[in-house]
Amino acid sequence: MDGNVALKTDNETIAIELEKVGFTKGEIDCALDWLEGLSRFKVSMETAPLFASPSLRHFIAEETEQLGTEGKGFLLYLEQLGILDPATREMVIDRVMALDSRAVDLGRVKWVVLMVLFSLPEKKLTLSLLQDMILSDAFDVLH
């Protein structure tokens, strides 16, 4: 989560290392596919027209089921804080929908948001804000 870390390892090396620490080939393949989907979505967002800022997002039934009330509320809260914009919100929703489970708890939604922001160098400041918020919550740190 440090913005100065450069991750330039190929998928084969990553897979070997993950197998060494106990992950199955299926789990590794799913994780690498998920990350590849994030990269593809980023590229498609670069060529897509910009989202209008004062937009209202309606969720389809599958998204509502997968995100849950807490997840949707969390995304709205992050938009209100300026941590997510409409484009990054869509990336988060896309990656949550790509997870295997039907209902994703709030903790997983938070990690997906972190992964999306981490993949966008221009979002370094918002990533830092979210990291502080999530990690202080995870460790019950009072400020």
**Span 77-88, pLDDT tens digits:** 999 888 888 888
CA–CA separation, 59 and 65 (whole Å)? 10
Model confidence, pTM: 0.72
Count of the separate structural domains present in the chain:
1
pLDDT value of residue 64: 92
Full domain range(s) for residue 65: 11-138
6 is a domain residue: no
2 is a domain residue: no
90 is a domain residue: yes
74 is a domain residue: yes
77 is a domain residue: yes
CA–CA separation, 18 and 81 (whole Å)? 36
